[in-house]
Amino acid sequence: MIALSPSLSARECTCIHRKSSVSCVVKQVRPLRKPQGPNCRLGSRIVVAQSTADVDFPPYSILNKRSEYDLRFYNVYKVVRMPYERRDEGYIGLGAYFDGENEGGLRLRQSQPVVMRFPATGSKTMELLVASCLDGDPVDVAPQPLDRRLSIEAAGGEIAAVLRFQGSATREATEKAVSTLRAALAQDGLVEGEEGGAFRLAQYGPLNSLSTRLNEVLLPVKM
């Protein structure tokens, strides 16, 4: 079993939650610089942007960095989620919600990553963090979608193992990354939190970009 005693710098954290309920040692990390400019009102949100002031990221703490993967604790956060068959279908549906197709008519600030869930049974789903309005004000209660295929759900509140890889997230590349992560977890004596082969794929960057993209596969783990 690996020890949860991380050694990391602030640059290695995408987002930091300042209070963890995990019963293990989490090193306190100085947050990255706060966003600057008119759209940087964080309110009650505990989110630190990476390099831009106009993108929200799910809050997490790094518990341990391994050679193959990171072990992260994700705090609970709100997402808008929809089932999909083709990725472009999910992008369009979620994009419309962020552009104001919701009961409040709110236009929301961009968030990353796009997370796709591949369950053992049932439909695959795609989701995005709902955190801020376009002007930067926090969204305390996410507006309900007008498109009834979409729903507001809670995500996070868990420990997950995360492996990064770059390039196109094809089926073959994603399955290879998942296999690598599962092998590393087994070697470290960690047990997956979901049964049946379920996994998640997260993608960062503009959806219509042809540049190299950052991808992550995530597997919840039992501690």
Mean pLDDT over 123-150 rounds to 95
Q: Return the number of other C-beta atoms located less than 10 Å from residue 124's C-beta.
A: 16
pLDDT at 54: 83
For domain 77-155, give the CATH superfamily: Regulatory factor, effector binding domain (3.20.80.10)
Q: Fill in the amino acid letter for 221.
A: V
**Average predicted confidence (pLDDT) for the chain:** 80
pLDDT at 39: 31
User: What is the value of pTM for the model shown?
Assistant: 0.76
Residue 13 Cα distances to 43, 49, 62, 183, angstroms: 21, 10, 7, 24
Mean pLDDT over 105-112 rounds to 95
pLDDT at 223: 82
pLDDT at 207 over 50: yes
Six token digits for residue 26: 């989490």
The answer to whether the beta carbons of residues 118 and 200 sit under 8 Å apart is: yes
- Cis before residue 38, ω within 30 degrees of 0? no
pLDDT in tens, 40-65: 232 323 333 343 568 999 999 999 99
pLDDT at 205: 84
Mean pLDDT over 178-184 rounds to 97
The answer to whether the beta carbons of residues 32 and 49 sit under 8 Å apart is: yes
Six token digits for residue 146: 């007008």
**CA-based R_g, the chain, Å:** 17
CATH 3.20.80.10 in the chain is located at 77-155
The answer to whether the beta carbons of residues 111 and 155 sit under 8 Å apart is: no
The DSSP 8-state label assigned to residue 51 in this structure reads: S
pLDDT at 122: 86
The answer to whether the beta carbons of residues 76 and 37 sit under 8 Å apart is: no
Q: Which residues fall within 8 angstroms of residue 19, CB to CB, at 6 or more apart?
A: none
pLDDT higher at 194 or 211: 194
For residues 175 and 22, give the distance between their C-alpha atoms in angstroms, rounded to a whole number.
29
The answer to whether the beta carbons of residues 163 and 90 sit under 8 Å apart is: no
pLDDT in tens, 5-40: 333 333 333 332 333 333 233 333 333 333 333 232
pLDDT at 18: 31
